[in-house]
Chains A and B, each alone.
Chain A
Amino acid sequence: MSAVPVTTKKDWSSDQEVRWCPGCGDYSILTAMQLLMPELEVRREDTVFISGIGCAARFPYYMNTYGMHSIHGRSPAIATGLAMARPDLDVWVVGGDGDMLSIGGNHLIHALRRNINLTILLFNNQIYGLTKGQYSPTSEVGKVTKSTPMGSIDQPFNPISVALGAEATFVARTHDMDRGHMQEMFRRAHDHQGSAIVEVFQNCNVFNDGAFNAITKKDARDAMLINLTHGEPVRFGVDGERGVMIVDGTAKIVDVAEVGIDALHVHDETAPDPSVAFAISRLADDRESPTPVGVLRSVQRREYGESVSSQIAAAQDTKGPGDLHGLLRSLPTWDVS
């Protein structure tokens, strides 16, 4: 194999006109991705983006790679078949909160538990955009939308908790206002062997504008984003004055001055048991409280496609390559002359 050719953002951009609403958070995610791809040392022809339905799902059209814009919710299933058949490919899955957590929730959790080599980007804008503004499975209780004129009565999913509950081996969160952080999360997810999911807080400026303002605006971030760094005490705040402790299995926000730095939880993304990561994911029930971002979990477990391939190899080792003539004679036979 020759060396991977040097590329630029332009090489990774398709000739299709981008059709999201002006100001949509999806633009910054797309730019982050197109800028990142040349750095990943992969070939465009070996890269596939698969999506379902929704605003986010238009993503593959704009990447100059192989791509499939499929049907609502089914992208993890379609991508699973592709990744099983073609472990040589880099398969990305892109979708929104309605696509992946509502109609496609089942496929998402099963893809995650199997640990198939997919990099899943979940653009969470807490609303249905393409169908013009109904509440989604991540919308907060009380949300007034076209389909909930008296306020939503549904308990929302926390996508990170769902992913950890499904024992995903790589779980991260980022947001559309910070290109560097997005790229770091995308890169790590891509490099991970197995199913990796990144939740991206994404602003839908038409139907749910400012949903994440309280935590992602530049001047709010220090106080409201709990940046998780492997091996470091979990600390945040303008002067790092706040931190996270794990008390009886529950994550609690504390004043560092009060508890002392040694009492803070030291983030371990490689912990085999997902319980502590889950506890951390529960820190923010709404988008107005300090919210953890970064890699919550990154553990090694056998990748599904590898298991598939090794069973095939083992079968060929013990039985020899397939012999059709022999197969047809594998039940008792008799001759008529």
Chain B
Amino acid sequence: MTDTVDRADEVREVERIIIRFAGDSGDGMQLTGDRFTSASALFGNDLATLPEFPAEIRAPAGTLAGVSAFQVHISDHDITTPGDAPNVLVAMNPAALKADLHTLESGGTVIINSDAFEERNLAKAGYEHNPLEDNTLDGYTVITAPMTSLTKEACKDLGVKPRDAERSKNFFALGLVSWLYSRPEEPTMLWIQEKFKGRDLVIAANEAAYRAGNAFGETAELSASRMTVRPAQLPAGTYTNINGNTALSWGLIAASQQAGLPLFLGSYPITPASDILHELSKHKNFGVRTFQAEDEIAAVGSALGASYGGHIGITTTSGPGVALKGETLGLAVSLELPLVVIDIQRGGPSTGLPTKTEAADLMMAMYGRHGEAPMPIVAASSPADCFDAAIEAVRIALEYRTPVMLLSDGYLANGTEPWKLPDIDSLPSIDIEFASELNGVDSEGREVYWPYVRNDDLARPWAIPGTEALMHRIGGIEKQDGTGNISYDPANHEFMVRLREERILKIADKLPPLEVMGDDDADILVVGWGSTWGAITSAVGRLRSGGTKVASVHLRHLYPFAPNLGELLQRFDHVVVPEMNLGQLTKLLRAEFLVDAKAISKVSGQPFTAAELVTKIQEVAR
């Protein structure tokens, strides 16, 4: 393909492109999008991705329910979202076109596999007329390619069966799109060889399909549509393209190394959290123990048991799983043992939208337990940020001997972005010491070990089984502070309930103050938490460059809040809170600080776009 690169003068340069790959779930669009993303990452673009797949593993082929899409935003400058409206839609079948055409910007480009636009597929997608033949696509730039037949043709002489050849058509699409947007070929070829090692026919078919797609671009005289996006000027360093669940898994491993304690994950498979179980299972050489439990309750129970034994107990799940773990979390609060509960939120309630994103578990994280059972809450704000958020959650759990809730969501879990790899020497240190000494004197003057004696942070000592002379019993029944003996004394219970609240609030004492981004003298403060960070950052940037004064602040800690949040909120006339729920943080802010915070809600299973936020924030500004 070197000759095409030589003709770079024909290629129009643009700052950014948003491409949406859409097809049937069996068409391999996730893989296509992922390969395009990787090639772009290695090329040096900044990027953000949004994979969207159906809940069914194999929804009926050709139907709207079976459409799987992958949106990628590539840019020559720093970006934080997978983009508003795509500029390019790749539609592998009529259902994909039907489902996603409305997302395309007006005048955008549609790339279509014309082979799939036959009667049966059109009917399944609900098209009465072939949209390639009526006025459906008027106003768009339309590129049609008979991808299936050209792929079969390209594979004809390789000895690949036609049915198998057909499966490579996604590589034809990738080849064509890569030619149109000047992506390097080499990373994809290397990947194909690595991925399908030992299956020579598959390698040959995929390579042939890719090249056929590439050649189609050239021969079909599509040069006018060619564009490229130059590498972004990112801060110097080594980068990798990472999704949230992988970053989160690595953050847990990093925290385990920083603390010098082994990691134990108790988990039960659930979308979209399972990939953390998969990822951590691959890293047993770090001493990681992973346990696929019989249910969500056993998952958290085993993690708590491991914590009792001196490991870092972790449990990963999504909303429905958190609901099941609630009773054990009450126990963990009472036992005052470290534990990290990771909730990769999804659309709810119940099974809801298991493959779509939402952030409506905040109130459950906050209050979803029996009794007064406060738990610190940490939230991740971008795919790469899941790494730091995981370390922070483990740090709080270990240092304060408490269960911690770590919130991520489906969008962060599967979305990717380039991540400048941290210097591992600069990671936060986590210093933990197990108890080894007797610490009390009983009524008969004997030295004893008391499990509920407290340090300056109000954390109790952590004496793990196996430690000589410190044998003691703990349990879920109310206990006397200090000795830990069972106590039904009314005054003691009142004292302990308040103490458990106080010791969690005290975590805020050592949190860094929040920093306001944007205009300090603005009237409007946008308060965000979780995955809305990207859209908020981008929207605030656009508003400011358009002359609107606006400030924003993003919360890492949802409980307790950073110490200066209240003072900060009071400084602005308007406080708006974009949330992928019906206003849960908004309610907490109003209750806690008596400010007139207003929610900007979205609960469609999709993340905010910056454009949506710009409009909503402007409404407030008016």
Contact flags (1/0) for A291-311 with B, using CB distance below 8 Å? Answer: 000000000000000001001
Q: Are A332 and B306 in contact (CB under 8 A)?
A: no
Which of the four size classes fits the interface of chain A?
A: 35 or more
Measured CB to CB, the closest approach of chain B to A100, in angstroms, equals 13
Q: Is A142 engaged at the interface, CB distance under 8 Å to the other chain? A: no
Q: How far is the CA of A320 from the CA of B474 in the complex (A)?
A: 38
Q: How far is the CA of A60 from the CA of B472 in the complex (A)?
A: 9
- Which of B239, B266, B291, B466 is A86 in contact with, Cβ under 8 Å? B466
Q: Are B298 and A308 in contact (CB under 8 A)?
A: no
Closest A residue to B474 by beta carbon equals: A68
Which A residues are in CB contact (< 8 Å) with B467? 45
Q: A45-B470, A61-B486, A327-B250 are in contact. Are A335 and B257 (CB under 8 A)?
A: no
Which A residues are in CB contact (< 8 Å) with B241? 331-332
Contact flags (1/0) for A84-107 with B, using CB distance below 8 Å? Answer: 111011000000000000000011
Q: Are A68 and B475 in contact (CB under 8 A)?
A: yes
- Which of B238, B291, B472, B486 is A333 in contact with, Cβ under 8 Å? B238
Q: A15-B442, A45-B467, A107-B294 are in contact. Are A331 and B286 (CB under 8 A)?
A: no
Q: How far is the CA of A130 from the CA of B219 in the complex (A)?
A: 82
- Which of A319, A328, A331 is B285 in contact with, Cβ under 8 Å? A319
Q: Is A260 engaged at the interface, CB distance under 8 Å to the other chain? A: no
Q: A86-B466, A107-B294, A312-B289 are in contact. Are A332 and B309 (CB under 8 A)?
A: no
| Residue with the highest number of chain B CB atoms closer than 10 Å, among A47, A48, A321, A331 | A331
Measured CB to CB, the closest approach of chain A to B562, in angstroms, equals 28
Which A residues are in CB contact (< 8 Å) with B305? 50, 77-83, 85
Q: A61-B475, A327-B250, A335-B237 are in contact. Are A312 and B291 (CB under 8 A)?
A: no
Q: Is B90 engaged at the interface, CB distance under 8 Å to the other chain? A: no
| Residue with the highest number of chain B CB atoms closer than 10 Å, among A77, A80, A314, A324 | A77
Which B residues are in CB contact (< 8 Å) with A328? 240, 250, 421-422, 424
Q: Are B283 and A322 in contact (CB under 8 A)?
A: yes
Which A residues are in CB contact (< 8 Å) with B485? 16
Which B residues are in CB contact (< 8 Å) with A74? 297-298, 301, 327-328
Q: Are B306 and A336 in contact (CB under 8 A)?
A: no
Which A residues are in CB contact (< 8 Å) with B285? 312, 315-316, 318-322
Q: Is B31 engaged at the interface, CB distance under 8 Å to the other chain? A: no
Q: Are B298 and A77 in contact (CB under 8 A)?
A: yes
Q: Are B468 and A78 in contact (CB under 8 A)?
A: no
Q: How far is the CA of A74 from the CA of B301 in the complex (A)?
A: 7
Residues facing A in B553-584 (CB within 8 A) are none
Q: Are B264 and A81 in contact (CB under 8 A)?
A: yes
Closest A residue to B243 by beta carbon equals: A331
Q: Are A84 and B284 in contact (CB under 8 A)?
A: no
Closest A residue to B266 by beta carbon equals: A81
Residues facing A in B243-297 (CB within 8 A) are 246, 250, 253-254, 257, 262, 264, 266, 283-289, 291, 293-295, 297
Q: How far is the CA of A132 from the CA of B238 in the complex (A)?
A: 65
Q: Are B289 and A69 in contact (CB under 8 A)?
A: no
Q: Report the stretch among B38-46, B66-74, B526-534, B609-617 that lies at the interface.
A: B38-46
Which B residues are in CB contact (< 8 Å) with A60? 473, 475
- Which of A63, A67, A84, A336 is B234 in contact with, Cβ under 8 Å? A336
- Which of B294, B309, B469, B475 is A45 in contact with, Cβ under 8 Å? B469
Measured CB to CB, the closest approach of chain A to B286, in angstroms, equals 3
Measured CB to CB, the closest approach of chain A to B114, in angstroms, equals 33
Q: Are A312 and B287 in contact (CB under 8 A)?
A: yes
Measured CB to CB, the closest approach of chain A to B420, in angstroms, equals 8
Which A residues are in CB contact (< 8 Å) with B327? 71, 74
Residues facing B in A38-86 (CB within 8 A) are 43-48, 50, 60-61, 63-71, 74, 77-86
Residues facing A in B479-526 (CB within 8 A) are 485-486
Q: Are B298 and A110 in contact (CB under 8 A)?
A: yes
Q: Is A329 engaged at the interface, CB distance under 8 Å to the other chain? A: yes
Which A residues are in CB contact (< 8 Å) with B240? 328-329, 331-334
Q: Is A218 engaged at the interface, CB distance under 8 Å to the other chain? A: no
Q: How far is the CA of A286 from the CA of B250 in the complex (A)?
A: 55
Q: Are A81 and B302 in contact (CB under 8 A)?
A: yes
Closest A residue to B287 by beta carbon equals: A312
Q: How far is the CA of A319 from the CA of B282 in the complex (A)?
A: 11
- Which of A69, A77, A88 is B293 in contact with, Cβ under 8 Å? A77
Q: Are A81 and B313 in contact (CB under 8 A)?
A: yes
Q: Is B111 engaged at the interface, CB distance under 8 Å to the other chain? A: no
- Which of A14, A45, A86, A322 is B473 in contact with, Cβ under 8 Å? A14
| Residue with the highest number of chain B CB atoms closer than 10 Å, among A80, A82, A329 | A82
Q: Are A64 and B335 in contact (CB under 8 A)?
A: no
Measured CB to CB, the closest approach of chain A to B486, in angstroms, equals 7
Q: A107-B301, A308-B289 are in contact. Are A88 and B466 (CB under 8 A)?
A: yes
Q: How far is the CA of A71 from the CA of B475 in the complex (A)?
A: 8
- Which of A45, A89, A318 is B468 in contact with, Cβ under 8 Å? A45
Q: Is A131 engaged at the interface, CB distance under 8 Å to the other chain? A: no
Q: How far is the CA of A44 from the CA of B240 in the complex (A)?
A: 50
Q: How far is the CA of A79 from the CA of B477 in the complex (A)?
A: 18
Contact flags (1/0) for B301-330 with A, using CB distance below 8 Å? Answer: 111111111110100000000000001101
Measured CB to CB, the closest approach of chain B to A64, in angstroms, equals 6
Which A residues are in CB contact (< 8 Å) with B298? 74, 77, 80, 106-107, 110
Which B residues are in CB contact (< 8 Å) with A319? 285
Which B residues are in CB contact (< 8 Å) with A69? 473-477
Q: How far is the CA of A86 from the CA of B309 in the complex (A)?
A: 6
Q: Is B621 engaged at the interface, CB distance under 8 Å to the other chain? A: no
Contact flags (1/0) for A5-16 with B, using CB distance below 8 Å? Answer: 000000000111
Closest B residue to A65 by beta carbon equals: B471
Q: A61-B473, A71-B328, A312-B285 are in contact. Are A331 and B242 (CB under 8 A)?
A: yes
Q: How far is the CA of A66 from the CA of B462 in the complex (A)?
A: 12
Q: How far is the CA of A314 from the CA of B264 in the complex (A)?
A: 18
Which B residues are in CB contact (< 8 Å) with A335? 237-239
Q: Is B235 engaged at the interface, CB distance under 8 Å to the other chain? A: yes
Which A residues are in CB contact (< 8 Å) with B262? 85
Closest B residue to A106 by beta carbon equals: B294
Q: Are A324 and B284 in contact (CB under 8 A)?
A: no
Which B residues are in CB contact (< 8 Å) with A314? 284
| Residue with the highest number of chain A CB atoms closer than 10 Å, among B266, B303, B306, B335 | B306
Which B residues are in CB contact (< 8 Å) with A337? 236
Which A residues are in CB contact (< 8 Å) with B239? 333-336
Measured CB to CB, the closest approach of chain A to B573, in angstroms, equals 40
Measured CB to CB, the closest approach of chain A to B602, in angstroms, equals 31
Q: Are B471 and A86 in contact (CB under 8 A)?
A: no
Q: Are A89 and B264 in contact (CB under 8 A)?
A: no
Q: A77-B297, A337-B236 are in contact. Are A324 and B471 (CB under 8 A)?
A: no
Q: Are B421 and A85 in contact (CB under 8 A)?
A: no
Closest B residue to A313 by beta carbon equals: B284
Q: How far is the CA of A337 from the CA of B307 in the complex (A)?
A: 43
Q: Are B466 and A46 in contact (CB under 8 A)?
A: yes
Q: Are A84 and B473 in contact (CB under 8 A)?
A: no
Q: How far is the CA of A70 from the CA of B329 in the complex (A)?
A: 11
Which A residues are in CB contact (< 8 Å) with B352? none
Q: How far is the CA of A74 from the CA of B41 in the complex (A)?
A: 47
Residues facing A in B42-85 (CB within 8 A) are 42, 44
Can you give 25 contacting A-B residue pairs, CB < 8 Å? A16-B485, A67-B475, A69-B473, A69-B477, A70-B476, A74-B301, A77-B302, A79-B305, A81-B306, A81-B307, A81-B308, A84-B289, A84-B302, A312-B287, A312-B288, A315-B283, A318-B285, A321-B285, A322-B285, A322-B286, A327-B250, A332-B42, A334-B240, A336-B231, A336-B238
Going nearest first, the 3 A-B pairs with the smallest beta carbon separation are A69-B475, A81-B305, A81-B302
Interface residues, chain A, with chain B CB atoms under 8 Å away: 14-16, 43-48, 50, 60-61, 63-71, 74, 77-86, 88-89, 106-107, 110, 308, 311-312, 314-316, 318-322, 324-325, 327-329, 331-337
Interface residues, chain B, with chain A CB atoms under 8 Å away: 38, 41-42, 44, 187, 231, 234-242, 246, 250, 253-254, 257, 262, 264, 266, 283-289, 291, 293-295, 297-298, 301-311, 313, 327-328, 330-331, 335, 420-422, 424, 442, 464-477, 485-486
